[in-house]
Amino acid sequence: MSVSRISVAGVSTRGFFISFEGGDGVGKSTQARLLGDWLAELTGREVLLTREPGGTDLGKELRAAVLHGEEMGPRAEALLYAADRAHHVDSLIRPALERGAVVITDRYLDSSVAYQAGGRTLGEGDVERLSLWATDGLLPDATVLLDLDPGIAAERRAVTGEAPDRLERAGAEFHRRTREAYLRRAGADPGRWIVVDAARSVEDIQAQVRVDVAARLGLTPVVTEAVTEAAEHPSGERPTPDGARPSGEGEEGGVARGETGPGPEGRA
Ligand code: TYD
């Protein structure tokens, strides 16, 4: 199977870059993991599952400061998220994309625009420019927004019994503005965004995410081929005519499934 090269913000890379966005407690990390498993199987590529803040060692320190440290103003908060993102892109995401991996991040630049601009009311343009500078312009090929009423998300978080972090404590009005900012942003760039109703079951959400991400990344023919093959060979044995590779082997050497970032700490 062949997966075409794509261009990310003018930089030619061989990988795919996907971000998950949404409020706290909407189920992003579960959906990101399920999509990663599926894309690893489908494409045979390395899948790097990561997150912000805290996808690197330095990022973990910044994460502790911004989520559990002392109170700070919105500018300091925005700069800490941007510093985490700059190092994340430079040390982890770009190298992975350059070696042909599928990179899936649980939050990226749009979190800053939704939370620090929408929620904290810094200027949207300022926050976006800060992140674009931090990442040297790297934007995802597809961004999945798991959209959920913040009240429902707060109820889901409450049952976990975990102490809320600084952002989770920001209040209902803050989270309402954050959701609105996400929806505005998604509406303004439908070529990048995929909006999914996160009130549905995990399985239903994942089914929609797979179809829409595959379409966005030009993988629909690969999916169709895999489905047809599974129907013709239900035992799981795949023929290998013309040197076609069996499932799990990549065409560009990226066969290992790398995983980093998300630890056991409270994830959505
Ligand atoms: P986390 O526990 O990772 O939340 P979630 O599982 O919901 O993603 O905490 C990250 C918090 O940081 C979350 O409240 C969103 C916030 N955040 C920002 O405010 N700006 C940002 O740029 C990023 C990446 C996250």
Pocket of ligand 1 contains residue 107 by CB under 6 Å: yes
Radius of gyration of the chain (CA): 19
CATH class label, 14-232? alpha beta
CA distance 117 to 187: 17
CA distance 97 to 172: 37
Pocket of ligand 1 contains residue 56 by CB under 6 Å: no
CA distance 20 to 66: 20
For the entire predicted model, the pTM comes to 0.83
* Per-residue pLDDT tens over the stretch 79-89: 999 999 999 99
CA dihedral 20, 52, 109, 64 (to 10 degrees): 140
CA distance 60 to 10: 30
pLDDT of 192 higher than 80? yes
pLDDT of 222 higher than 60? yes
Q: Where are the domains of the chain?
A: 14-232
24 CA → ligand 1 middle, Å = 7
* For the CA of 23, the nearest atom of ligand 1: 7
Q: Sorting pLDDT into bands at 50, 70 and 90, what band is 104?
A: very high
Q: Which residues are annotated as a binding site for ATP?
A: 22-29
Q: Which residues are annotated as a binding site?
A: 22-29
Assign 61 to helix, strand or coil: helix
CA distance 95 to 22: 26
CA distance 15 to 7: 9
pLDDT of 247 higher than 50? no
